[in-house]
């Protein structure tokens, strides 16, 4: 039983991805000792981060042999002309061919663009021949989009993006917000298939970190029902003092997938909330 669990764990981690921020990566002297070459590395573009820092980070990763996927947050981009300038420089200077398209964290757009659909409608990612586009998924809903909790607007948006994926020449996938309830994630993934949304799903997981840090991030990011799992863990003093690791969540996901559930789950994406070094060390131990 244990050997089967280990095989399942290794299989689901075979093509993992990880997210970094420019200021975090700047502190890492030798990236090659942390992550295997060829790994997909997302570069997070949050409010306040300068495009030049994003470009320098993406170029460094590309030259080191990684698949680079910078964020394109619509609400941070001032206009279509700026968007094209960013794309052109990413492609020309950092050899970028992949991108994560999302609305972004600001509640109000700084310019003409407000969501990932508008980014796609510009046609610029096809013009510059991007090979892969990822979009955001929210297994526990997104109250910014659906304040009533119905999820209806999110489902309509995903259906629109599926139609876009069906007619474009770019590989597309969904990467989710991190969660802590494997059953909730799998139920959501199965619901997508039933609704005809067939884009592959990359499940977001939090990397190893202190439980208190994780709860803080979970509240800030709007993680919903599965936050109760963390709170229950925090109530156990023996667990409160030990760092959180995604091992149990991955084990549950692997088991459900082996049972035939969520056939659209294609990979795992890590948010290294406790630092890239600790997540990379955990991956070395469990992905071998």
Q: What is the pLDDT of residue 33?
A: 86
Mean pLDDT across the chain: 86
Q: Could you tell me the pLDDT band of residue 154, with boundaries at 50, 70 and 90?
A: confident
- Nearest-angstrom CA–CA distance, 242 and 245: 9
Q: In the predicted model, is pLDDT for residue 219 greater than 70?
A: no
Q: In the predicted model, is pLDDT for residue 238 greater than 90?
A: no
Neighbours of 257 (CB within 10 A): 18
Q: What is the pLDDT of residue 226?
A: 57
Geometric angle at alpha carbon 200, from 198 and 203, rounded to 5°: 130
Q: What is the pLDDT of residue 237?
A: 45
Please name which of 265, 285, 282 lies closest in space to residue 274, comparing C-alpha atoms. 282
pLDDT digit string, tens, across residues 168-192: 989 999 999 888 889 999 999 999 9
238 sits in the region (left: phi over 0; alpha: psi -120 to 50; else beta) called alpha
Q: For the chain, what percent of residues have pLDDT higher than 90?
A: 57
Please name which of 177, 187, 80, 191 lies closest in space to residue 134, comparing C-alpha atoms. 177
Q: What is the pLDDT of residue 108?
A: 87
The parent domain of residue 83 ranges over 2-286
Q: What is the pLDDT of residue 234?
A: 54
pLDDT digit string, tens, across residues 193-206: 999 999 999 999 99
Q: What is the pLDDT of residue 171?
A: 96
Is residue 232 exposed (0-12), middle (13-18) or buried (19+ Cβ within 10 Å)?
Answer: exposed
- Region 95-121: mean pLDDT is 92
Query: What's this model's pTM, rounded to 2 decimal places?
Result: 0.89
Q: What is the pLDDT of residue 96?
A: 98
Q: What is the pLDDT of residue 2?
A: 40
Number of domains the chain contains:
1
- Cα distances (angstroms) measured from residue 100 to each of 42, 69, 72, 115, 191: 8, 6, 6, 12, 23
Q: What is the pLDDT of residue 178?
A: 87
- Contact between 193 and 187 (Cβ < 8 Å): no
Q: In the predicted model, is pLDDT for residue 3 greater than 50?
A: no
Q: Could you tell me the pLDDT band of residue 7, with boundaries at 50, 70 and 90?
A: low
pLDDT digit string, tens, across residues 23-78: 999 998 888 888 998 999 999 999 999 999 999 999 999 999 999 999 999 999 99
CATH number of the domain that 260 lies in?
A: 3.20.20.220
């Amino acid at each position: 039983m244990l050997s089967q669990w280990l095989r399942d764990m290794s299989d689901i981690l075979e093509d993992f991805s990880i997210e970094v921020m420019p200021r975090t990566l700047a502190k890492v002297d030798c990236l090659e000792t942390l992550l295997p070459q060829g790994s997909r590395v997302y570069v997070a573009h949050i409010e306040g981060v300068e495009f030049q820092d994003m470009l320098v980070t993406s170029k460094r990763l590309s030259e080191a042999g990684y698949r680079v996927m910078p964020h394109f947050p619509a609400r941070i981009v001032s206009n279509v002309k700026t968007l094209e300038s960013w794309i052109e420089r990413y492609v020309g200077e950092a050899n970028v061919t992949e991108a994560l398209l999302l609305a972004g964290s600001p509640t109000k757009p700084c310019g003409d663009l407000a969501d990932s659909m508008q980014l796609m409608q510009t046609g610029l990612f096809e013009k510059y021949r991007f090979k892969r586009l990822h979009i955001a998924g929210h297994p526990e809903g997104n109250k910014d989009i659906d304040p009533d909790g119905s999820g209806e607007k999110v489902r309509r948006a995903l259906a629109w993006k599926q139609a876009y994926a069906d007619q474009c020449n770019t590989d597309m996938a969904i990467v989710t917000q991190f969660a802590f309830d494997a059953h909730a994630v799998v139920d959501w993934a199965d619901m997508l298939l039933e609704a005809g949304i067939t884009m592959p799903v990359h499940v977001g997981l939090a990397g190893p970190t202190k439980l208190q840090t994780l709860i803080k991030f979970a509240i800030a990011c709007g993680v919903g029902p599965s936050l109760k799992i963390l709170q229950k863990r925090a109530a156990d003093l023996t667990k409160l003092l030990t760092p959180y690791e995604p091992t149990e969540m991955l084990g549950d996901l692997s088991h459900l997938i082996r049972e035939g559930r969520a056939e659209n789950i294609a990979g795992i994406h890590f948010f290294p909330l406790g630092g890239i070094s600790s997540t990379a060390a955990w991956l070395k131990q469990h992905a071998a």
